[in-house]
Amino acid sequence: MTMDKRDADLELHHRTWAIDGDLYRCRYCQRGCLASKAGEKFIHAGDCTVKDTACDYPWMALAEMTAAVARPHDEVERQRLRAIIENYPNGDPLEFNAAVRKIQQ
Ligand SMILES: [Zn+2]
């Protein structure tokens, strides 16, 4: 079974980031960013190995992810099904067929 996008996005995000009280910390360099500074670009340590690949606004990314959590399940599920259909012919044909059937209901 495919992992729910909301869960997958959070899991991926938190491979790099960790909330530590009022801070979002980079797991690699341990630098932190206050929630109140969410709109400022994150500053990693100079030798941080993910400084060029990690997202620049981890709080903003979290806010987008939790907005998806707050939306009604049906809407999120429809978005997931549409993504599977739009991805065709990539992906699992059985999953594609199931998505087409479900979205037509
Ligand atoms: Zn870092």
Local confidence pLDDT in tens for the 105 residues of the chain: 567 888 899 999 999 999 999 999 999 999 999 999 999 999 999 999 999 999 999 999 999 988 888 777 777 788 889 999 999 888 889 999 999 998 887
- The dihedral through the CA atoms of 24, 25, 27, 29 has a sign that is positive
Amino acid, res. 95:
E
Please give the distance, rounded to the nearest whole angstrom, from the Cα atom of residue 45 to the centre of ligand 1.
6
Contact 48, 31 (CB under 8 A): yes
First to last CA, the chain: 20
7: β partners: none
Please give the distance, rounded to the nearest whole angstrom, from the Cα atom of residue 26 to the centre of ligand 1.
5
Residue 5 and residue 45 share a domain: yes
Residue 43 and residue 4 share a domain: yes
Domain count, the chain: 2
Residue 84 and residue 102 share a domain: yes
Backbone angles phi, psi at 4, to 5 degrees: -55, 135
What pTM does this model have? 0.67
Please give the distance, rounded to the nearest whole angstrom, from the Cα atom of residue 43 to the centre of ligand 1.
7
pLDDT at 57: 97
Residue 51 and residue 9 share a domain: yes
Please give the distance, rounded to the nearest whole angstrom, from the Cα atom of residue 2 to the centre of ligand 1.
30
pLDDT at 2: 64
DSSP 28: T
Please give the distance, rounded to the nearest whole angstrom, from the Cα atom of residue 35 to the centre of ligand 1.
17
